[in-house]
Amino acid sequence: MNTPRQPQISDRRPAATDPGEAAAPDVRFLFANERTFLAWSRTALALVAAGLAGVQVLRPFPGIPWSRDLLGVPLMVLGAVIATVGYLEFRRNHRALHQRRPLPRSWLPTILAVAVTVTALTSVVFVLVSTVRSR
């Protein structure tokens, strides 16, 4: 006894009418790409806000008068980079989805992880140096 085959995701996509025209991609992938872009945008906004707050609200570490700027300004720059690269990746992924190509590799997670690690380590150094100088 044969059971009927379950329709696959690719079975539900509209077929291209013209051989030179690509079929429309599954809308779920387009929405996932948009959600990813929005997540990168929120991350960029949070980085800019954190950098601005650091520069405006934090007291300078004792003995290191430029410490606020050294922590805050790179966060704001990173926010601008993440926003720009996030949009470029959104467009690149959108194009790849429409052309039925594999999605290109993203460097954003690596950039963000390295930058946050460097910022955290810099903060630790500032705390340790200011603690030693205040004794």
Write the pLDDT tens digit of every residue in 42-96.
Answer: 999 999 999 999 999 988 888 788 889 999 999 999 999 999 999 999 999 999 9
And the tokens for 42?
Answer: 């929120």
Task: Determine the distance from the C-alpha atom of residue 28 to the mean position of all C-alpha atoms in its chain, rounded to a whole number.
Answer: 20
Task: Please state, in angstroms and as integers, the Cα–Cα distance from residue 14 to each residue in 1, 19, 25, following that order.
Answer: 31, 13, 8
State the pLDDT confidence band at 110, using cuts at 50, 70 and 90. very high
State how far the Cα of 105 lies from the Cα of 126, in Å rounded to an integer.
35
- pTM, rounded to two decimals: 0.75
